[in-house]
Amino acid sequence: MKNLTVVLFFVGSHIAVPCHAGASDGGAATYRMVCASCHEVAAVGAPGLDDRAEWRYRLAQGMDKLYASVREGRCTVYVKELRKDLSDDVIRMAIDYMVSEIR
């Protein structure tokens, strides 16, 4: 559990800035403010957006599976615990944005 503490500290220090991620930004702002701290640089085992091979098999599950696994998986544990203000819809839009940015 020591690793989790480090991760939570890491994330907390990145996303504790005031921001206004909301339903109107199409997911991009949410991604930048909440998700990028792990996914842009592939931190703590998160698939980075520059890792096409990693995403290929995740995307092969289909988007519905992806939405569902993010709601239940390791990723969401962090996101939901630290950002309880984010609705499922907002997270879904951030996922759509992420998928469109995979390179």
State which of positions 34-63 bind ligand HEC (CB under 6 A). 34-35, 37-39, 44-47, 58
Whole-number CA gyration radius for the chain: 13
Q: How many CA atoms lie within 13 A of 50 on its CB side?
A: 6
Q: How far is the CB of 66 from ligand HEC (least distance, A)?
A: 5
Q: Compute the residue count for the chain.
A: 103
Binding site for ligand HEC (CB under 6 A): 7, 11, 30, 34-35, 37-39, 44-47, 58, 66, 69-70, 73-75, 78-79, 91, 94-95, 98
